[in-house]
Chain A
Amino acid sequence: MQDNRAWLGVLPVLLIVAFSAVIPLMTVVNYSVQDIFDVNTRIFVGFDWYRETLRDPRFLDALLRQLAFSGTVLAIEIPLGILVARAIPREGRWVGLVLVLLAVPLLIPWNVVGTIWQLFARPDIGLFGQAVNDLGIAFNYTAEPLHAWITLVMMDVWHWTSLVALLAFSGLTAIPLPCYQAALMDGASPWQVFRHVELPRLVPVLVIAVLLRLMDSFMIYTEPFVLTGGGPGNSTTFLSQYLTTMAVGQFDLGPAAAFSVLYFLVVLLLCWLFYTSVLARDGEVGS
């Protein structure tokens, strides 16, 4: 006779997982397959909302914009973060101060970050916007889609490169000194030291950095909402913002729910693709 009372011990975890993940998610799934008019009037519509969403050009545009944005910021933040991490001294009295200064952007509330850049980049009174205009370049992020993009990317890089740098720094400090000493005796060039000593040992932390930045940038909402409001036109309207407009602005719960599920699946798919590709590269050499 086995003692089944142990299952009671699992109950709290099941409840927490149910309330935090399963129930809200299933509610959304539930909405996504129905057309709801009021509390008593609801019609099962199957995958209609999904079909509609996937055919919605505004959804597809927002998705493309989102991919472009995430790709751009990753392409800048990861290499830049590594560069910054390599420039941080490994020991000495300044290390602590440098790390704290680096962490400052990470501690600022996201809507404040948006506000800071909204002011900073303003062509009339912003330090950055005005300086660029004084150089003879007509810069106006509220009118020019390209300028809005540049400002957004700069803001994201400013906000999040520190995270990559801090992660990479932790990876660098974990490299044993003899690895550098051996390279020095081998006469390896600085590039070879980076390529053959540092980079292979940074891979695990860089995987985390890429995953974090991929997910976060893919779900970015607050900063563009404050900075550009999705404009000019729809040029900086990303998935989350379009979704909010749909769900909260227009109260289209069915399509918004289908949208949410698709959004969630895209994030999941991207992370899975990235992670398995890294694992596959590892698997080829691991055993």
Chain B
Amino acid sequence: MAELRLDALSFAYPGADAATLSDLTLTVERGEAHALLGSSGAGKTTLLNLLSGLLPAAPGQIYFDGRDVGARAPYERRVTQVFQFPVLYDAMTVAENLAFPMRKLPVAERQGRLRDVAERLGLGAALERKPRQLTLVEKQLTAIGKALLRPDVALVLLDEPLTAAEPEHKWRLRQTLKALQHELEATMIYVTHDQTEALTFADRVSVLHEGRILQTGTPAALVADPAHEHVGYFVGSPGMNLLDGEIRGGALMIGAQTIGVQAAGTLESGALDAGAATGSDQARADVAESERVALSDGNCRIGFRPEWARITQEVPAETSLSVEVLRTRTLATDRGEAVGLVTAVFQGREIVTRQPLGRLAPGRAALQLDADRLCLFRDGRRLKRAG
């Protein structure tokens, strides 16, 4: 297994107006499970094809363990890939499929590795069967086994490998994959548009949007400390609430109202960093401060996660932001108290909070924001903390 490093990698398809990927820089540690999260069209598959060498070298460099592999053919890069649907050799048995990438190894060694991985994937009983006799999940497990069994593999790519699996199998497949990744210390790049898959599978996640990496960080960091507006609402379920606001004379305003924390007051710009008061050290370390825009007066977007705010009808609405509760949805109960999602309207925009529901009913209510945790964005980018 190898360490992967991308240096200013870009790619444009011939004849295309815009670049599919621009200026990607990323390091994936040896043995790391790394997820590329992005909606369709973000350039995920293009990036995979560049890594595997199916697409020709583009401007920028790809290094495996410090060696530039841009000019190498796919086989020489020692990359294996699991595709969206199971890609197997149809006329071969499961055992033959698994053995194919190891065909240059001595037979005894081949058998040992094969049995080992097949056992862990739960394919022991299916070894002599042909792909047509397998369920979709078994086929994909075989494809995963085949990708992991290549003796000298540097990098394992997974292109939305669970797309074809039924929801009830996804969890099991993901667990199996994660366990194997950990045991074999495989460097894996896992491409998906499903944030649950990305956040539960990966050690670190890169959010890809319109051909750029917006943020790379641990799942916790992406949730607690999004570096970009898109990361804020794309990651998290439901995503971050975004309100239009303004910074005027160091105070954060929504319309004519100055945002306060429970007790009303003026916000000092120094209090506007989200990660500082809460989020772990790890979370903060993953956000490149240099990417952030300096805080200055002007329009901005105010982001807060559903669990960072609270809607209440117990305090007078005048002391905070006035909202109209539309509906509540119970998700769970915590010590007999219902916890769930509250959907409300603020200035024509729907917002969602996750909180104890209490006796909340549709109608007028107050929105209380935790000013320490607000994320401020301008032109999509996170505003830098002052000082």
Contact = CB atoms under 8 A, between A and B. Distances in A.
Co-assembled chains A and B = yes
Contacts of B130: 285
A225 B331 CA distance: 83
B105 interface: no
B254 to A, nearest CB: 49
Contacts of B80: 185-186
Interface in A167-208: 176, 178-179, 181-182, 184-188, 196-197, 199-201
B83 A178 contact: yes
A285 B131 CA distance: 9
B288 interface: no
Interface in B72-86: 74-75, 79-81, 83-85
A40 interface: no
Given A286-B133, A287-B133, A178 B87 contact: yes
A55 to B, nearest CB: 45
Nearest to A181: B54
Contact of A184 (B54, B83, B89, B91): B54
A92 B342 CA distance: 55
Query: By DSSP majority rule, is chain B's interface helix, strand, loop, or mixed?
Result: loop
A92 B217 CA distance: 42
A285 B81 contact: no
A225 to B, nearest CB: 42
A182 B54 contact: no
Interface string B138-177: 0000000000001000000000000000000000000000
Nearest to B150: A186
Nearest to B133: A287
A182 B91 contact: no
A72 B83 CA distance: 42
B133 A181 contact: no
B132 interface: yes
- Interface of A, secondary structure class, is helix
B90 interface: yes
A188 to B, nearest CB: 8
Contact of A181 (B52, B89, B101): B52
Contact of A200 (B52, B79, B89): B89
Contacts of A199: 91
A98 to B, nearest CB: 22
B83 A182 contact: yes
A196 B133 contact: no
Interface in B22-68: 49, 52, 54
Contact of B91 (A178, A181, A200): A200
A178 B52 CA distance: 12
A199 B75 CA distance: 22
B100 interface: yes
Nearest to B84: A178
B332 interface: no
B128 to A, nearest CB: 11
A185 B132 contact: no
Contacts of A179: 87
B87 A196 contact: no
A184 B83 CA distance: 14
A188 B92 CA distance: 14
Given A185-B75, A186-B100, A196 B81 contact: no
Nearest to A186: B101
Contacts of B89: 196-197, 200
A181 B81 contact: yes
Contacts of A178: 83-85, 87
Nearest to A286: B132
Given A285-B133, A286-B132, A287-B133, A184 B74 contact: yes
Contacts of A184: 54, 74-75
B326 to A, nearest CB: 45
A45 B229 CA distance: 94
A200 B74 contact: no
A182 B75 contact: no
Contact of B90 (A185, A187, A188, A201): A201
Contacts of B85: 176, 178
Given A185-B81, A285-B130, A286-B132, 10 more contacts: A178-B84, A178-B87, A181-B52, A181-B81, A185-B80, A186-B100, A186-B150, A200-B91, A201-B90, A286-B133
Interface of B: 49, 52, 54, 74-75, 79-81, 83-85, 87, 89-92, 100-101, 130, 132-133, 150
30 contacts: A176-B85, A176-B87, A178-B85, A178-B87, A179-B87, A181-B54, A181-B81, A182-B81, A182-B83, A182-B87, A184-B74, A185-B54, A185-B74, A185-B75, A185-B79, A185-B80, A185-B81, A186-B75, A186-B80, A186-B100, A186-B101, A186-B150, A196-B92, A200-B89, A200-B90, A200-B91, A201-B90, A285-B130, A285-B132, A287-B133
What 3 A-B pairs have minimum CB-CB distances, sorted nearest first?
A187-B75, A200-B91, A200-B90
